[in-house]
Amino acid sequence: MTQRIEDYALIGDTHTAALVGRDGSLDWLCVPRFDSAACFAALLGTPENGRWLLAPKDGGPATRRSYRGHTLVLDQEWDTPTGSVRITDFMPPRHHRPRVFRRVQGLRGAVEMIGELVIRFEYGSQIPWVTQTGSGVRAVAGPDEVEIDSPLQWSARAGHQQHELAFVIKEGDEVDFRLHWAPSYDDEVHEVECGPALDQTISFWVDWCGGLTEVHGEWEPLVRRSLLTLKSLTYAVTGGIVAAPTTSLPEALGGARNWDYRYCWIRDATLTLEGLGEAGAVDEARAWFHWLVRAAAGNPDQLQVMYGVAGERRLPELELDWLNGYESSLPVRVGNAASTQFQLDVFGELMEAVHLARSRGGDVTPVVWDLQKVLVKFVEDHWEQPDQGIWELRGPPQPLVYSRVMAWVAMDRAVKAVEKFGLEGPVERWREVRDTIHEQVLRQGYNAEVGSFTQAYGSTELDASLLLVPLMGFLPVNDPRIVGTIEAVQRELMVNGFVIRYRNTSGVDGLPGQEGTFLPCTLWLVSCLAALGRCDEAREMLLRVLSVANDVGLFSEEYDTERKRLVGNFPQAFTHVAFINAARSLANAAAQPD
């Protein structure tokens, strides 16, 4: 049976990542990139779809686990009736090709251990040709080759489609395993021993974390863990940051809201740049910004909401019908059809990201301003067009309030570029469009009977994205209309202490069913309450969110308050960014004199 989402921990090499369960099973790994096909896909199916298990023979979850300090080196320990054992999992920062190391250490007594190896390429569908080597096994199918090196002999079963081993680990013993992926047509080998690789990996993460300059009071350890998680989701080659390393972990268990998040969203750029920049992760913020500019370059009417890690634009959505889905949540999808939607808000988020970079003295070239002017002209001509918005609604386009607010942001940041930074542009016209948008949103986006801004013009539905309206400077947070919106969200969109995005009472999103509470929205509410000076409420809510992080400090996208389980893709960059920013907002508000 698949483990709970929170039972997984992340290891990665800033090119791809793997999920390792409490039971010692590595159930998810895409190679060589985040968005490549998986060679272990048990997460979305069964062990027959690929996994690598190392664990005590008696099984069961690890007695304890933790990351080794401020690193992505995972230690899991089992106490058994005969002794104790530790398994250390890590991926060295990538210099050539992906590797996964697994070190088994005897801590006390003697423990019987088992291993099971099921390699399946193309998301569990392709059974490779597996042969024994002098140091392990080699699996080949088409362009992919995986080798498992170990000092122990694996035994084939099920016609060489699976391999297993058994051994005893005694106190003081160490047994090292290494997985190495390479193109099957390339015989070049780069040997690295586990000990030096472990030292290198620890040094990499410790050095990176030591360069952070801004953390937030009592939440410092979790803020650092969130920053490390963002770094681990960075594709080092380009600077792009994937939303999550997984696909199709459901927003509701057993449901159909299962999406591929192994791509880079423009929308995430603003909050990510803010979180990284404020924490002193300057190089990552700069690389993310340059990825953003490259990805957005081109004709503005072809701007997408998401791109591949190298800026790829074609992300066709497919269903993998041979996988059972996580806890029978179907379909399993790869690719993301939302990449072709018109989402007006991304123009504002891109303009805000550039504004943040420019305000911090970032390397913003004149070419970027040329691109911005083209994007602003597009917003001028299209801001009244209905769209599918921040939540990527799959129903008909609507005049969404948050999208119109972000159109205002796009125009406002263009005006500020002229006023604050001396850039050239038709600022009078931009001011006029900005003011027109502002007036229209106040007139048509605010519902006096509801006492709140609403999801769309003429609607009475609420939408938690409206919590970002004051954070983007559209109105002061203490404006009565904003206060009313915050209180309406608390009144209507809170479920057992957490915020949902909206209520799908009229099928507005074009999808069946509901979803879990949305952790980023809950954290936006923390930031709003902190800005209002309601620090006790904000702190209580932040602690509530922290209580649902797993034991190694990782968040998914959503939380099922009935089952008390994390749901959605995992770990989720957007949630970690929202936590970093909420912790900073609350720390800053609490430091203000009364």
Residue-level pLDDT at 301: 86
Asked whether 469 and 405 are in contact (CB, 8 A), the reply is yes
The pLDDT score that the predictor gives to residue 507 is 59
Return d(Cα 518, Cα 499) in angstroms, integer: 6
**Of all helices (H) and strands (E), which one includes residue 447?**
strand 446-447
Q: Find the helix or strand (DSSP H, E) in which 89 lies.
A: strand 83-90
What is the signed CA dihedral for 580, 582, 583, 585, rounded to 10 degrees?
A: 120
Q: Which helix (H) or strand (E) holds 438?
A: helix 427-440
* Geometric angle at alpha carbon 231, from 227 and 237, rounded to 5°: 160
Tokens of 351: 């303009």
- Predicted local distance difference test score (pLDDT) of residue 509: 61
573-576: long-range pairs with CB below 8 Å, 24+? 573/229, 573/230, 573/233, 573/241, 573/242, 573/243, 573/244, 573/268, 573/272, 574/243, 574/265, 574/268, 574/271, 574/520, 575/519, 575/520, 575/523, 576/226, 576/227, 576/229, 576/230
User: CA-to-CA distance for 373 and 572, rounded, in angstroms?
Assistant: 32
What is the pLDDT, as a whole number, of residue 573?
A: 95
Q: What are phi and psi of 447, to 5 degrees?
A: -110, 110
Count the Cβ atoms, other than its own, within 10 Å of residue 239: 20
Instruction: State the sign of the Cα–Cα–Cα–Cα dihedral 444, 474, 293, 291.
Output: negative
Bond preceding residue 331 cis, omega within 30 of 0: yes
Distance, in Å, from the CA atom of 274 to the CA atom of 276, rounded to the nearest integer, reads: 6
Residue 51: enclosing H or E segment and its boundaries? strand 51-56
Judge contact between 111 and 79, C-beta under 8 A. Answer: no
Contact predicate 106/83, CB 8 Å: yes
Asked if 308 contacts 334 with a C-beta cutoff of 8 angstroms, the reply is no
Beta-bridge mates of residue 40: 29
pTM of the model: 0.95
Select the CATH number that applies to the domain covering 211-591 from these four: 3.90.550.10, 1.50.10.10, 3.40.50.620, 1.20.1250.20: 1.50.10.10
Element (H, E) at 220: helix 220-232
pLDDT of residue 134: 81
Residues of the chain with CATH 2.70.98.40: 5-185+197-208
Residue 235 has phi, psi (to 5 degrees) of -85, 105
- For residue 510, what pLDDT is reported? 60
Secondary-structure breakdown of the chain: helix, strand, coil percentages, each rounded to the nearest 5: 35, 25, 40
Alpha-carbon gap, residue 564 to 111, rounded angstroms: 34
Ranges for all domains in the chain classified under CATH 1.50.10.10: 211-591
Q: Which alpha helices (DSSP H) does 547-572 contain, by range? A: none
CB distance 445 to 454 below 8 Å: yes
**CA-wise closest residue to 269 among 248, 290, 283, 251:** 290
For 123-175, the three-class secondary structure string (H helix, E strand, C coil) is HHCECCEEEEECCEEEEEECCEEEEEECCCCCEEECCCCEEEEEEEEECCCEE
Distance CA 210, CA 232 (A): 15
Amino acid at 250: P
Q: Which amino acid is at 431?
A: R
From first to last of its 594 residues, the chain has per-residue pLDDT tens of 579 999 999 999 999 999 999 999 999 999 999 999 999 999 999 999 999 999 999 989 999 999 999 999 999 999 999 999 999 999 999 878 999 999 999 999 999 999 999 999 999 999 999 998 888 899 999 999 999 999 999 998 866 689 999 999 999 999 999 999 999 998 766 778 999 999 999 999 999 999 998 776 788 999 999 999 999 999 999 999 999 999 999 999 999 999 999 999 988 877 888 888 888 888 888 898 889 889 988 888 898 999 999 999 999 999 999 999 999 999 999 999 988 899 999 999 999 999 998 998 877 889 899 999 999 999 999 999 999 999 988 788 999 999 999 999 999 999 999 999 999 999 999 999 999 999 999 999 999 999 999 999 999 999 999 999 999 999 999 999 999 999 999 999 999 999 999 986 655 666 666 788 999 999 999 999 999 999 999 999 999 999 999 999 999 999 999 999 999 999 999 999 999 999 999 998 888 776
pLDDT in the model for residue 503: 87
Fold of 5-185+197-208: Beta-galactosidase; Chain A, domain 5 (2.70.98)
